[in-house]
């Protein structure tokens, strides 16, 4: 399996990232350990989480995902075998949010403690903070890198103008730059990333790690009608895809999957991996069968005709 570099950094990863948003939410610690073991045993190494995961779940306060990953790292003793990415900046309650230097210094210590590690491989601004100057945030990231607590920094949910401004600020002041971007991007939601933002990432060689890569599970083909949404955790997120475009995309995925003796979700991930700008899609799984299925995606090579077919089906 050929690894891919995170931007211009020295860090290389296998081309699928495990999304830790499910840990402490739809997956308990025991199953989380099994999934992480299966992920690493299959030759993958990149685990993405955030301090805010999974604060939205009743009874949670945030940090649950990092805590589970930290317990797994301690139990397995394999910290040097995996790449750990986490994020900060989302509302953690009270004054604990944003990208001010003062908060970043506290937030990194909380994440390191929960992860039970001395360093974070990729530390990402979860979203832009318009109330804090970019210089302040980037100087703070520089301090964390100098202290050995962070190796590489990245951004998530940044617009093209703000990412461009951040990269120019790093260049002008000689500060560490965002080596990665984590955008919302999949066959059903292309408009936010494609265009100027994707072009900037390609021009600046910023690695792209896509989230909601399977459109909350819609692109696996398991949601094809309102009846399929009943009782599902992500049903409300998927309902918006039950439209003519969504059905067109599923038809195309079904057709191409049959040709490759694969599943629709694998084809959707293969489409992302075929995009020159994409470094690795983030995928989550709640059981071992889902995990095994998704990890086969890098082995699928779509033809130019198949890529064009999916592009046409997903075009508004």
User: Which string of DSSP letters, residue by residue, matches 198-234?
Assistant: HHHHHHHT-EEEEBSTTGGGGGGT---SGGGGTT-TT
At residue 222, the pLDDT reads 87
Find, among 233, 307, 243, 309, the residue nearest to 272 by Cα: 307
Catalytically annotated residues: 53
Distance in angstroms (rounded) separating the CA atoms of residues 161 and 158:
8
At residue 8, the pLDDT reads 97
18: helix, coil or strand? strand
Q: How many residues does the chain have?
A: 316
Q: Name the residue range of residue 179's domain.
A: 4-313
Distance in angstroms (rounded) separating the CA atoms of residues 71 and 88:
20
At residue 233, the pLDDT reads 60
At residue 225, the pLDDT reads 72
At residue 132, the pLDDT reads 98
At residue 91, the pLDDT reads 96
At residue 235, the pLDDT reads 59
Residues 6+ apart with CB under 8 A from 144: 104, 108, 123, 150
Q: Which residues of 200-231 are buried (b: 16+ CB within 10 A; e: fewer)?
A: bbeebebbbbbbbbbbbbbbbbebeeeeebee
Regions of the chain with pLDDT less than 70: 231-235
CA 4 to centroid of chain Cα atoms: 15
At residue 241, the pLDDT reads 94
Total domain count for the chain?
1
Residues 6+ apart with CB under 8 A from 187: 215, 219, 249, 253, 268, 271, 310, 313, 314
Q: Which CATH number do you get for residue 199?
A: 3.20.20.100
């Amino acid at each position: 399996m050929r690894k891919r570099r995170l931007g211009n950094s020295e860090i290389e990863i296998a081309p699928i990232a495990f999304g830790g948003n499910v840990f402490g939410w739809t997956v308990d610690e025991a199953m989380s350990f099994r999934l992480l073991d299966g992920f690493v045993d299959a030759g993958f190494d990149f685990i993405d989480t955030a301090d805010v995961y999974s604060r939205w779940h009743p009874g949670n306060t945030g940090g649950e995902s990092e805590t589970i990953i930290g317990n797994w790292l301690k139990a397995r003793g394999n910290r040097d075998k995996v790449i750990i990415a986490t994020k900060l900046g989302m509302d953690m309650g009270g004054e604990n949010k944003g990208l001010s230097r003062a908060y970043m210094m506290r937030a990194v210590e909380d994440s390191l403690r929960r992860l039970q590690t001395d360093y974070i491989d990729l530390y990402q601004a979860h979203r832009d903070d318009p109330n804090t100057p970019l210089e302040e945030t980037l100087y703070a990231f520089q301090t964390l890198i100098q202290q050995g607590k962070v190796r590489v920094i990245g951004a998530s949910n940044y617009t093209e103008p703000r990412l461009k401004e951040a990269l120019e600020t790093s260049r002008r002041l000689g500060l560490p730059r965002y080596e990665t971007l984590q955008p919302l991007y999949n066959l059903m939601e292309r408009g936010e990333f494609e265009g100027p933002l994707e072009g900037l990432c390609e021009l600046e060689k910023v690695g792209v790690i896509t989230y909601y890569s399977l459109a909350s599970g819609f692109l696996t083909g398991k949601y094809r009608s309102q009846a399929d949404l009943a009782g599902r955790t992500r049903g409300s997120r998927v309902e918006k895809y039950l439209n003519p475009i969504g059905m067109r995309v599923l038809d195309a995925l079904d057709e191409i999957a049959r040709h490759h003796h694969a599943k629709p979700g694998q084809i959707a991930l293969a489409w992302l991996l075929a995009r020159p700008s994409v470094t690795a899609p983030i995928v989550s799984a709640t059981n071992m069968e889902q995990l095994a299925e998704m990890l086969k995606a890098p082995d699928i090579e779509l033809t130019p005709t198949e890529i064009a077919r999916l592009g046409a089906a997903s075009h508004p």
